[in-house]
Amino acid sequence: MHSNRLALYSQRMAAITLVFIVAMMAINAAAWLFPGVASQYGLGFSLTERQLSSLSDGAMELTGWQCLGGIFLSSIPLLVLASGLANLRQLFKRYAQGQYFSSEAAVYLGKAGRAVALWVLLDFLCEPFLSLLVTINAPVGQRLLTLSITAPSFVALFLAACIAIIARILSQASEVDSENRTFV
């Protein structure tokens, strides 16, 4: 592929990544503010979607503090994921500048991989607190404490491990490229 075309694709991916970060956070907050609309159209990301889909129609009426708590707790893992996507965005910006084998590129890719792994972990850890928060006003016996490990979590962890390994390979390639440039 021609390098100008690759630079253009990298610039586009950097822009799309930024849009995705903003949309992800906005949709998550909107899902808690308007849970009926979110469940009707399937809006929400992993933790938010699991919690809101477990509520009955009568329980969709969350109090203001429950909505704010839901936004806060469900945003913790998403902020970590957004951080990883921001690192991925920086990687695409480096690629757009033609810095394919830079050590910075390897660092950004490694941070993106670690963020995905941390996102899965925080999603797992925040779920019990979030399930208690949304069912705290339910009658005794109908309150929930949920904990789930899903197949997408395992896929995300596998991808995070792959990204971390590729980041190390890219770091080694960066060192070899640097050595080769000193010989020329």
Q: Are 75 and 45 in contact (CB under 8 A)?
A: no
User: What span, in angstroms and rounded, lies between the C-alpha atoms of 49 and 134?
Assistant: 13
pLDDT at 158 over 90: yes
Res 60: pLDDT: 59
Res 11: pLDDT: 95
**Coil, helix or strand for 19?**
helix
Ranges of H-type helices in the chain: 3-33, 35-41, 46-53, 64-96, 103-135, 151-183
Range with top average pLDDT, 33-47, 83-97, 138-152: 83-97
- Over residues 174-180, mean pLDDT: 80
Instruction: Determine the structural domain holding residue 103 and report its residue range.
Output: 3-183
Res 12: pLDDT: 96
Q: Are 66 and 136 in contact (CB under 8 A)?
A: yes
pTM over 0.75: yes
Q: Which long-range contacts (CB under 8 A, 24 or more apart) does 20-23 make?
A: 20/85, 21/82, 21/85, 21/86, 21/89
What is the count of structural domains for the chain? 1
Q: Model confidence over 119-131: pLDDT tens digits?
A: 999 999 999 999 9
- Over residues 149-171, mean pLDDT: 93
Give CA 99 to chain center in angstroms: 25
Q: Model confidence over 44-100: pLDDT tens digits?
A: 777 888 888 776 655 557 889 999 999 999 999 999 999 999 999 999 999 999 888
